[in-house]
Structure 1
Amino acid sequence: MLYYEITILHYDTTMDYYDITVLNYDTAVFDYEVTRYYYDITILNFVIGYYVITIFYYEMTILYYDIAYSIMTSQWTIGTS
């Protein structure tokens, strides 16, 4: 798995909107605020200490990003399908 730096800002608790910035350690992958693309974001706490964020990225095709954060390792991982 590749490791990414991910910043998540939960800025509207009533609507559950998230501002997500994902930055590869080598190069930028995408930035919600910069690209202005639309994302459907689902967050699932599936194991204690782990969170999975599925991002449906709509453009010409649909890419699925599964992002997980481990409290135990303090690292994010991301995979595409």
Structure 2
Amino acid sequence: MIPDTTWLQEAACAGVDPRAFYAEGHHAVEQVAAAKRICALCPVRPQCAEMAITSGEKWGVWGGMTQTELRQRRRRFTSRAKSDMREAA
């Protein structure tokens, strides 16, 4: 099944250079902060975060979350899904 990505057209980052969301080098902290400011204004931030979590995105700022924040959410999402599967069995 192909995921619905029509929400991407409404993203605050549409038209922004994607490199703005992949911090590196001496100014990484400032780059992450700038990316998060764009995300803070985004009407589709929850969809972006969900896509990053479910697809296993490991790099960049997605849905206003850093790589570390995404990993933490992914762990919670994965453990909750496993728990739901055990209950259904």
TM-score range, shorter chain: under 0.3
> Hey, which of these two has a bigger chunk of helix by percent?
2
Richer in strand (by share): 1
TM-score of the aligned structures, taking structure 2 as reference length: 0.21
